[in-house]
Amino acid sequence: MNVRPTIADLALAANVSVSTVDRVLSGRHAVRKATAQQVLAAAERIGFYATGTIRHRLKQDRPARTFGFLLQQPRRTFYQILGKALKEATEASEAVQGRAIVEYRDDLSPEEVSENLLRLSRDADAIAVVTADHPKVTGAIDRLRSDGVPVVAVISELTAPAVAGYVGLDNWKVGGTAAWMISRLCRTPGKVGVYVGNHRYLCQDVCEIRFRAYFRENAPEFELLESRTTFEDPRFAYEMTLDLIQRTPDLVGLYVAGGGISGVMRALAEEGGEVAKRLVVVGRELTPETRSGLVDGTVDVILSHPQKMLAETTVNTLIEVTANKNRTDPLQRILPFDIYTNENV
């Protein structure tokens, strides 16, 4: 017959006194957070009957925080995945009693983004946003900082002096890696196309700059075409890709630095000619669609944010900036990026 662990057993397992365990359970007297966490860990380890009570006490001691997340088009799978991960990371935080407000927008204009930031600030203690850089966005961030609502840039950096931080990739390295992949995977030199969603996304701009610099320095036998803008829309990317293939018989590579990869994949699948078959395509973000593209060979390489790490780091950054709103230097949280081919998906 199994004997249920007692308070004395828990105290022994946690290396604290019985009275300390009693204070944690009752909540009548303050206990250091580290000690309470120690007791909780021991309770979980030995199967203590009131583990749920201890966990609840710890949660009550955490400050309540509401975090706003302003993401892009709801039809894009990547942002649906990210939104879910951000909500889960907020609610799972052990540092705060977190509540997430996740909003998506189809209108990516700076006016709309600015209005959404100001509106969201009425309910949020801090905001994380994915947006293009623009003076109107800068103005909204400046105003929110003066109102005590810090804003953190996610995925794409912002030049706003009042921005509280950035969470994302080293896009100089991302662009260089994309160039390395195409220059090494192409069987023969030729022309290389570049798609960006919008040049005001600094992440994409930096990627393109390094992409071109790599070819200039290391593979000058390739000819890089003028970049084309997809406006983050698969429909534009689809039409552009069909046109590019028809006009450029010696096209050997395509780098999709922004949104629209699903449109590229659709065009390549429909065209199916020699250009499409030999084309080396490098895109961004692992989703069910790009995973399928890797498997069937439509896409060769995907460079992706580590989605769970991105969400958790974003939430932790919001916790940090709300805890120290007087901080003047923005936090920089640079994440490693994942590289996927059809051999590791």
Residues 210, 218: Cα–Cα separation, whole Å: 12
Lowest mean pLDDT among 59-68, 116-125, 330-339: 59-68
pLDDT value at position 37?
87
Same fold? 65-168+307-335, 171-304: yes
Q: CATH for 65-168+307-335, among 3.40.50.10470, 3.40.640.10, 3.90.70.10, 3.40.50.2300?
A: 3.40.50.2300
What phi, psi does 325 have (nearest 5°)?
Answer: -75, -15
Residues 335, 137: Cα–Cα separation, whole Å: 24
Residues 263, 269: Cα–Cα separation, whole Å: 10
Residues 113, 117: Cα–Cα separation, whole Å: 6
| C-alpha dihedral (205, 276, 265, 248), degrees to nearest 10 | 40
pLDDT in tens, 258-270: 999 999 999 999 9
Among residues of the chain, what percentage have pLDDT more than 90? 83
pLDDT range class, residue 2, cuts 50, 70, 90: low
Lowest mean pLDDT among 57-61, 126-130, 234-238: 57-61
pLDDT in tens, 101-113: 999 999 999 999 9
Residues 214, 201: Cα–Cα separation, whole Å: 20
Residues 97, 90: Cα–Cα separation, whole Å: 8
| C-alpha dihedral (123, 126, 127, 133), degrees to nearest 10 | 130
Domain boundaries in the chain?
7-61, 65-168+307-335, 171-304
Is the backbone of residue 160 left (phi > 0), alpha (psi -120 to 50) or beta?
beta
171-304 CATH fold? Rossmann fold (3.40.50)
Residues 97, 209: Cα–Cα separation, whole Å: 42
Residues 137, 68: Cα–Cα separation, whole Å: 16
29: pLDDT strictly greater than 80: no
Q: Helices 18-26 and 51-61: crossing angle, nearest 10°? A: 70
pLDDT in tens, 270-321: 988 888 889 999 999 999 999 999 999 999 999 999 999 999 999 999 999 9
Residues 304, 294: Cα–Cα separation, whole Å: 13
Burial pattern 156-182, b for ≥16 Cβ within 10 A else e, equals: bbbebebbbbbbbbbbebbbbbbbbbb
pLDDT value at position 189?
98
How, if at all, do strands 151-154 and 191-196 pair? unpaired
99: pLDDT strictly greater than 80: yes
pLDDT range class, residue 88, cuts 50, 70, 90: very high
1: pLDDT strictly greater than 60: no
Question: Quick one: average pLDDT of 204-212?
Answer: 98
Ranges of beta strands (E only) in the chain are 64-71, 97-104, 126-129, 151-154, 165-169, 191-196, 223-224, 228-229, 251-256, 280-284, 301-304, 331-335, 338-340
